[in-house]
Chain A
Amino acid sequence: QKEVEQDPGPLSVPEGAIVSLNCTYSNSAFQYFMWYRQYSRKGPELLMYTYSSGNKEDGRFTAQVDKSSKYISLFIRDSQPSDSATYLCAMSGWGAGSYQLTFGKGTKLSVIP
């Protein structure tokens, strides 16, 4: 079982739709959870991070963490064509004597005008 599982998609939605992106993980050492957005041929940019179970909202984006289920989500409301990108979940924490920052494979999202 991989440490972080993320459905690679691709996911195609109409403009204005609500998008739900998800990741599961197996390593209990992960304490911090992040979402990155990566446009084609660019480096990933940090969108949101959280360390506690529950929801965190930032504009049209909501990050949700359920540590008991080892499940995290990113919701995008009123999706826009500019949201078309690959979204990577990332998790970090200290385990096995070292710090790990591990990424999911990414979900490619297309928002159709």
Chain B
Amino acid sequence: EAGVTQSPTHLIKTRGQQATLRCSPISGHTSVYWYQQALGLGLQFLLWYDEGEERNRGNFPPRFSGRQFPNYSSELNVNALELEDSALYLCASSLFPARTANTEAFFGQGTRLTVV
């Protein structure tokens, strides 16, 4: 069974440009999470999508946005790139996290974004 796949693996952009990152969840998973992992800062929560809707958002500016498609794949867009946006962007997927049962989240390999 295929795991979470992310593309591209690496992305180099110039400051001020826009970046689009893509994620395909594990088959059957409806929830997709995006995290930013910058050096020394750990995983910072960006966005959570489920059934095509944004369910929760981390403490990031509006230029970080995304969407989830009917097939549950997801896209993260970062507008007006800044140097400090350089990081590993990780996508994870899971079943919908019901209130009464745990659901495990599985990660992709990430997209390394470098802003120059």
Chain A residues packing against B (C-beta within 8 Å): 6, 31-32, 34, 36, 41-46, 49, 51, 88, 90, 92, 94, 98-106
One digit per residue, 1 when the CB lies within 8 angstroms of any chain A CB and 0 when it does not, for chain B 93-116 equals 000010100101111111010000
A34 vs B92: C-alpha distance when bound (angstroms): 14
Chain A interface mostly: strand
Contact of B55 among A88, A90, A98 (CB under 8 A): A98
Q: Can you give 24 A-B contacts (C-beta < 8 A)? A: A32-B102, A34-B104, A42-B109, A43-B6, A43-B107, A43-B108, A43-B109, A45-B107, A46-B106, A88-B42, A88-B43, A92-B97, A92-B102, A94-B99, A98-B48, A98-B55, A100-B56, A101-B92, A101-B97, A101-B105, A103-B35, A105-B42, A106-B42, A106-B43
Contacts of B45 in A (CB 8 A): 100-102
A44 vs B104: C-alpha distance when bound (angstroms): 12
A98 vs B70: C-alpha distance when bound (angstroms): 22
Return A81 CB to nearest CB of chain B, in Å. 22
Q: Which of A6, A36, A43, A105 has the most CB of B within 10 A?
A: A43
A17 vs B55: C-alpha distance when bound (angstroms): 43
Contacts of B106 in A (CB 8 A): 46
CB-contacts of B34-51 with A (<8 A):
35, 40-43, 45, 48
Asked if B72 lies at the interface with its beta carbon under 8 angstroms from chain A, I say no
A52 vs B104: C-alpha distance when bound (angstroms): 15
Cβ contact within 8 Å between A51 and B102: yes
One digit per residue, 1 when the CB lies within 8 angstroms of any chain A CB and 0 when it does not, for chain B 67-98 equals 00000000000000000000010101000010
Contact of A43 among B40, B42, B99, B110 (CB under 8 A): B110
